[in-house]
Amino acid sequence: MRVAIVGATGAVGKELLKVLEERNFPLDELKLYASPRSAGRTVTFRGEPLTVEVTPEGPVPADIVLASAGGGVSKKLAPLWSSEGAVVVDNSSAWRYDPEVPLVIPEINPEAVRRHRGIIANPNCTTAILAVALWPLHRAFGATNVVVSTYQATSGAGAEGMQELLDETRNYLEGKPVGHKVFQHPIAFNVIPHIDAFQDNAYTREEMKVVWETRKIFDEPDMKISCTAVRIPTLRAHSEAATVLFEKPVTPEAARAVLEKSPGVEVVDEPAANRYPMPLTATGKWNVEVGRIRQNLAFENALDFFVSGDQLLKGAALNAVQIAELLL
């Protein structure tokens, strides 16, 4: 079993290495690729040093390619990487909306990997974190309308976004001018309701990704979904507040019972003990935390709940490795 990581020195690439090692993925050979700027670096995997090479512009000598190199690179090169039999699990947005490319969350639609033609898409991190919690409730009670507001960590903008939060927070506390390069406005002590480019319908592309991808993964093209995506000054793990209307009557107790049996979910829902999902507790976890489950006061057959999940794990690297495990 030969595995390659494209984008091995980025934030997601580093997590891919950790997840492969922690899950004891059965590989015999691991190749690491990145941009020419990062080529030549040495990375340790299972106690052995590996040298990072320049990303190939042709076939990759591997059985599985875990790619996190950005949409432009993947759109151009993924068909070439897979041209001699490799299966590319792509973490960018390049292939998610192609009807011929399966978009997979293993807890939800594992059978979709069988339809691949050399490329499998990993969903957007925001979609993945919501979907893992929403899917079992949808199966049990039939979700019809979903309204979600997200609280997204700077890790969603990569290592540079996390560093900008640290640098500008330090500047603020030291009384220095606070600037911004990665984000549209200063992120320190601020929230920014703008992630990705605005679309013609006044939603951002990040918000529309949740709509498009959830419908595709669930195979529910008419599900009504609305999203507001907000960047917040945390380092890691995205959180989301969801209001969901269902076809069938539903109670918080029934929802908890379903979620407690669901893969990829950890119910953290003890308000009296101040236990609920938070980025601080969700960071580093493979499961998505779900809590604050309560009856919605405005609609019949509706629930409110809150989720937190590690954007770099279930939102990216972990999901990609789980897809690779399905391929095995």
Catalytic residues: 125, 238
Instruction: Let me know: does 204 contact 228? Beta carbons within 8 Å.
Output: no
Nearest to 54 by CA among 91, 6, 14, 90: 6
**CA 111, CA 326: separation in Å to the nearest integer?**
9
Residues 6 or more apart whose CB falls under 8 angstroms from that of 272 comprise: none
CA distances from 264 to 15, 201, 300 (A): 18, 33, 28
Instruction: Let me know: does 148 contact 240? Beta carbons within 8 Å.
Output: yes
In the beta sheet, which residues pair with residue 33?
6, 53
| Side chain identity at residue 204, one-letter code | T
**CA 116, CA 109: separation in Å to the nearest integer?**
13
Helix pair angle (125-141, 205-218), 10° resolution = 40
Locus of tokens 């509706």: 302
